Amino acid sequence: MKRTISARVGRGSVNHNTRKFHAKNTDPERSHLNITYCEENIKAVYHELFDEALARYNAKQTRADRKIKDYYEKIRASKQEKTFHEIILQVGNKDDMHTGSDEGELAVEILEEYMTGFRERNPQLRVFSAHLHMDEATPHLHIDFVPYVTGWKGKGMDTRVSLKQALKSLGFQGGNKHDTELNQWINHEKELLAEIARQHGIEWEQKGTHEEHLDVYNFKKKERKKEVQALEQEKEYLTAENEGLTAQIAEVRADIQLLKDDKEQAVKDKEEAEKRAEKAEKDLHSLEERRERLQPVMDNVSKEIKEYGTVKTLLPEAGALERATTYRDKKIKPLFTQMKNKIAAMAAQVKELAEEVEKWKHKYQETKQAYNRVQKDLDTVREEKQQLFEKKQQLQDVSDRYDRVVRVLGENVVEGVVQQDIQEQKVLEEKRQMEQMPKGSIHERLAWGARKSEMENKQRKKNKTKYKGLEI
Three-class HEC string of the chain:
CEECEEEEECCCCHHHHCCCCCCCCCCHHHHHHCEEEEECCHHHHHHHHHHHHHHHHHHHCCCHHHCCCCHHHHHHCCCCCCCCEEEEEEECCCCCCCCCCHHHHHHHHHHHHHHHCHHHHCCCEEEEEEEEECCCCCCEEEEEEEEEECCCCCCCCCCEECHHHHHHHCCCCCCCCCCCHHHHHHHHHHHHHHHHHHHCCCEECCCCCCHHHCCHHHHHHHHHHHHHHHHHHHHHHHHHHHHHHHHHHHHHHHHHHHHHHHHHHHHHHHHHHHHHHHHHHHHHHHHHHHHHHHHHHHHHHHHHHHHHCCHHHHCCCCCCCCCHHHHHHHHHHHHHHHHHHHHHHHHHHHHHHHHHHHHHHHHHHHHHHHHHHHHHHHHHHHHHHHHHHHHHHHHHHHHHHHHHHHHHHCHHHHHHHHHHHHHHHHHHHHHHHHHCCCCCCHHHHHHHHHHHHHHHHHHHHHHHHHCCCCCC
What band does 56 get if pLDDT is binned at 50, 70 and 90?
very high
Average pLDDT of the residues in 164-184: 86
Tens digits of per-residue pLDDT, 196-227? 999 999 999 886 543 444 455 555 566 666 66
Average pLDDT of the residues in 286-301: 66
Tens digits of per-residue pLDDT, 96-152? 999 989 999 999 999 999 999 999 999 999 999 999 999 998 999 999 999 999 999
- The whole-number pLDDT of residue 305 equals 56
- The whole-number pLDDT of residue 128 equals 95
Tens digits of per-residue pLDDT, 178-193? 778 999 999 999 999 9
What band does 387 get if pLDDT is binned at 50, 70 and 90?
confident
What band does 470 get if pLDDT is binned at 50, 70 and 90?
very low
User: Percentage of residues in the chain with pLDDT exceeding 70?
Assistant: 75
| Lowest-pLDDT range of 154-158, 238-242, 341-345, 466-470 | 466-470
Average pLDDT of the residues in 398-418: 80
What band does 472 get if pLDDT is binned at 50, 70 and 90?
very low
- The whole-number pLDDT of residue 238 equals 56
* Predicted structure pTM score: 0.47
Q: Quick check: 444 pLDDT over 90?
A: no
